[in-house]
Amino acid sequence: MDHFHYLDRVLQAEEVPVPEIAAAVGTPFYLYSTATLRRHFTAFDQAFAGLDHLTCFAVKSCSNIAVLRLFAQLGGGADIVSGGELYRALTAGVDPARIVYSGVGKTKPEIRYALESGILMFNLESEQELVAVQECAAELKLTARVSFRVNPDVDPQTHAYISTGLAKNKFGIAIAEAGRVYRAARDLANIEIVGVSCHIGSQLTQVSPFIDTVAKLKDFLARLAGDGIEIKYLDIGGGLGIRYHQEEPPLPAEYGAAIREALGDLACTLILEPGRVIVGNAGILVTKVLFTKSGQKKFIVVDAGMNDLARPSLYDAHHGIIPVVKGEAGTEVADVVGPICETGDFLARGQEVPVAVPGELLAVQSAGAYGFTMSSNYNSRPRVAEVLVNGREFHLIRRRETYEDLIRGEAIPDFLK
C-alpha cells in the first residue's frame, strides 16, 4: 500500500498535489512519501516482532540522508557496501553499532574507516579480504567483528544481473569451503568471528529460495558449532521483491512467518537487509512530456532519461506510467523515451501509457529503489532533485544539480592554458 492517489483527477502524494511540487522544483524529480516509507519499514520490521532481530536498510537502494534518518529514527540499522555509504549512514545518524558492511571488494581505506567508526560487523567475501581486514585491524590495534558471506548455490529465480546466490556468481564463499575459512579466521589475533551472512539476490517473488537458503545455513551453523565456533548473528540479506507490474511477491508478514518457521529455535540474532521492498513503491519519478512523434511507432519524448532512471535500460524493467492530471484521452501503446543519444534510452517500451501532449506531467511508478541511486550525469545532465512529502508539507531533500556541479573537480592543465 502506498500514499499516492488521485483526488479530483490530480495525483497527490499524501496530501500534496504533485503539480504543486513540480511548479516549485521543476522537472524531472524523484518524490518520496514519508508515510509510505514509514509504513513499509514498520510492516517489514513487525514481521519479525518477538524475534531477536535487527533490520539493516540496504543503503544502496535509496541513499538520501533524509530517508536514512527516518529509518534510523524507526530503530533501523544500515547495510552498506562502500565507504561513501558509511559516510552517508553516519551523517544521517545511524548508530554504527547497527551497521553491517557487505560487498565483494572493500579497499583498505574503506576497511580502516569502518573499523574506526566501530561498525557492528564486516560481511567478508574471501580469504584475501579477511587478510586485509586483519592487517588493518592490527595497524589500528582494534578488533574487527566479522561474518563470512556464504554462497549457498540457491537459484533466486530473478533477473540474471541481480542473482547473487548461485555458485557461478561472484559473491560469497562456497558453503562447502566456508568451514575452512572460518577455522582460519579463528586463529587471527585481531578478528572476532560473530556471524554468518548470505544474500541470494534481489526482486525475489517467492519464499522458497529463502527457505532453502535458511535450511542450508542452519546445517552450516551446526557444522561450525561442531568445530567450536559459536555464531551470534545470522544475516540472511535482503531481496524480497515488490509489485512493479504483474508480480505477486509474498507480503513481508508471509516472508517473516516462513523465515521464522525455517529458523526454528535457532538462538542467534537475525539480521535482515531489505532495500527494494521498503522504498520501491514509496517513490515516483515525475517527468514532463517534451514532444510526441508518430511514425511507424508512437514515441513520447520526456525530460527524464536513462541517466535518471537506469532500470528499464539496464534490466528491461517495467515501470507503470500514469498521468499526473487525468484527462479524457485515455491510454495508448507507446514508447516513453528520454533525450539521451542512445536507442537504449527508454522508460517504457510498447507499453500502455497515457495519451500525452507536450507540457503534460507523467509519473513513473515504483521508482523509489535503485532510481536516484543509480542515476548518473551521462550526456552532462545535472542529476535531478529529490523531494520528500510529509502529510501536507513537501521538502527538497536534494537540490537539482547545476551546470557548475557538473564540472566541479575538473581542471584544465597548464599546458593547455
Ligand X SMILES: *Cc1c(COP(=O)(O)O)cnc(C)c1O
Strands 283-294 and 298-302: antiparallel
274 closest CA partner among 255, 293, 288, 287: 255
For ligand X, give the closer residue by CB, 125 or 386.
125
Known catalytic residue at 341: yes
Cα–Cα distance between 206 and 249 in angstroms, integer?
6
Scanning 39-47, 70-78, 174-182, 267-275 for contacts with ligand X by CB under 6 A, the matching segment is 267-275
For ligand X, give the closer residue by CB, 200 or 285.
200
| Under rule CB under 6 A, residue 270 binds ligand X | no
Planar angle of CA 369, 375, 376, nearest 5 degrees: 165
Scanning 83-91, 125-133, 231-239, 387-395 for contacts with ligand X by CB under 6 A, the matching segment is 231-239
For ligand X, give the closer residue by CB, 29 or 171.
171
| Under rule CB under 6 A, residue 61 binds ligand X | yes
What are the cell numbers at 68?
A: 536514512
Scanning 24-32, 58-66, 211-219, 263-271 for contacts with ligand X by CB under 6 A, the matching segment is 58-66
Scanning 111-119, 131-139, 271-279, 404-412 for contacts with ligand X by CB under 6 A, the matching segment is 271-279
For ligand X, give the closer residue by CB, 220 or 370.
370
For ligand X, the binding residues in 135-174 under the rule CB under 6 A are: none
| Under rule CB under 6 A, residue 58 binds ligand X | yes
CB 112 within 8 A of CB 85: no
| Under rule CB under 6 A, residue 36 binds ligand X | no
| Under rule CB under 6 A, residue 239 binds ligand X | yes
Residue pointed to by grid coordinates 510498447: 350
| Under rule CB under 6 A, residue 237 binds ligand X | yes
For ligand X, give the closer residue by CB, 238 or 354.
238
Binding pattern to ligand X, positions 93-122, x when CB under 6 A? ---------x--------------------
Which of 38, 199, 216, 319 touches ligand X (CB under 6 A)?
199
Which of 275, 283, 323, 371 touches ligand X (CB under 6 A)?
275
109 closest CA partner among 77, 87, 94, 79: 87
Which of 3, 53, 60, 88 touches ligand X (CB under 6 A)?
60
Fill in the amino acid letter for 406: L
Q: What are phi and psi of 101, to 5 degrees?
A: -115, 110
For ligand X, give the closer residue by CB, 188 or 234.
234
| Under rule CB under 6 A, residue 238 binds ligand X | yes
Cα–Cα distance between 276 and 392 in angstroms, integer?
25
Cα–Cα distance between 294 and 303 in angstroms, integer?
18
Cα–Cα distance between 201 and 159 in angstroms, integer?
9
Three-state DSSP class for residue 307: coil
Fill in the amino acid letter for 106: K
* Beta carbon of residue 273, minimum distance to ligand X (angstroms, whole number): 4
Scanning 55-63, 225-233, 297-305, 360-368 for contacts with ligand X by CB under 6 A, the matching segment is 55-63
Residues 6+ apart with CB under 8 A from 376: 307, 310, 383
CB 112 within 8 A of CB 140: yes
Q: How many residues bind ligand X (CB under 6 A)?
A: 17
| Under rule CB under 6 A, residue 209 binds ligand X | no
Residues 6+ apart with CB under 8 A from 278: 37, 40, 41, 44, 57, 61, 71, 369
Cα–Cα distance between 3 and 18 in angstroms, integer?
12
Q: Catalytic site residues?
A: 341
| Binding footprint of ligand X on the chain (CB under 6 A) | 58, 60-61, 79, 81, 102, 199, 202, 237-239, 273-277, 369
